Copies of this chain bind each other. A is one copy, B any other.
Amino acid sequence: MEPMRVAVLGATGAVGREMLRTLEERRFRLDELVPLASPRSAGVRLPFADDVVEVRAVERATFEGVDVALFSAGADASREWAPVAVAAGATVVDNSSAFRMEPDVPLVVPEINREALDGHRGIVANPNCTAITAMMAVAPLHVAAGLSRLVASSYQSVSGAGHRGVAELLEQVEKLRGAEEELARPDPEALPAGEVFGRTIAYNVLPRGGTFDPDGATTEETKFVNETRKILGLPDLEVAVTVVRVPVVVGHSLAMYAEFDKDLSVEAARLVLARFPGVEVVDDPLRDAFPTPLDAAGRDEVLVGRIRPGPRRRSLQLFASGDNLRKGAALNAVQIAEALTG
């Protein structure tokens, strides 16, 4: 076999580090790992496969001989470096939003639409972390009964904004230590705010993901709608979503209401989900079992539960939690790389 070289751009970020761990955990067949980042992070040493690898500053030459490049350094870096990597012969699995809605770029969750990889032209996009979590719960039900409408509200962790998001939450919790009771009637001037979320995220929820589009949706909401439609191959699907950031470290969750074309009982939905790879049904009212982000953190499976009838015929309600750094990002990207090289 030819040697397999895998590059990770953004290797020092929250998702990048998880990509390294995931490659290692899944024993991805590789002969050389090329950890890349901006010049600022060059020289950082990261543990990998009982060894230590040194991060290199990304430049044209670093993609030479690379077979697969996992990108997680933001949309600007992807726009700059993906064409370079593709020109050098690599296939790029891009975790940013840069190319997701390009018609000739597959947007893939391997368990759901692996076949979409067939037409790729060098770039494959990894969906948004919230969309992946939602789709793992909804796509199996769609296959079973035909999804016709989706209303979702998210509960997204701060690690979706990277290390800095986590640091900002923890700094704010520390600043408020001993004064938490005063949060019952807070002094707005005294509340900690930060650069990442722009507002107090500790002991608060922020119904805004990304920035605002002119129609009043946030960029994360627009991504969710567009990516859901593309992944499911339902370009006209009715999707309503509100993206909300919550003071959770790792784990994105969604409360969802879904309507279907055909009857789908709660029992049938549980069975369909339990059989779907990458999903674990956690749904037992009698045992007080339901998904939470803390239960999903550090795990590969998306947890789905609270499956119950909706108020109208052919509707269901459900709740899903997934590790946004794993299945929501690094794991899904590595699974795409596995499918590309397998």
Interface residues of A (CB under 8 A from B): 151, 153, 155, 159, 166, 170, 173, 177, 180-181, 183-186, 188, 191, 198-200, 203-208, 212, 215-217, 225, 238-240, 242, 244, 246-251, 253, 255, 257, 266, 285-286, 288, 290-295, 297-298, 305-312, 315, 317, 319, 325
Contacts and interface: CB of A to CB of B under 8 A. Distances in A.
A206 B292 contact: yes
Contacts of A325: 184
B285 A216 contact: yes
A203 B292 contact: no
Contacts of A285: 212, 216
A66 B305 CA distance: 48
Contact of A250 (B183, B198, B249, B306): B183
Contact of A308 (B155, B217, B308): B217
Count identical subunits in the complex. 2
Contacts of A251: 204
B184 A180 contact: no
A88 to B, nearest CB: 33
Contacts of A225: 311
| Chain A to chain B: the 5 pairs with minimum beta-carbon distance, closest first | A185-B298, A216-B308, A212-B285, A153-B153, A242-B255
A239 B315 CA distance: 12
A291 B290 CA distance: 28
Contact of A186 (B203, B266, B298): B298
Given A153-B255, A311-B239, A288 B216 contact: no
B255 A207 contact: yes
A249 B291 CA distance: 22
A249 B207 contact: no
B247 A247 contact: yes
Contact of A311 (B177, B208, B240, B309): B240
Given A238-B311, A240-B315, 11 more contacts: A151-B151, A170-B180, A173-B173, A183-B250, A188-B295, A203-B249, A204-B292, A206-B290, A239-B311, A244-B319, A246-B246
Contacts of A206: 290, 292
A185 B297 contact: yes
B298 A184 contact: yes
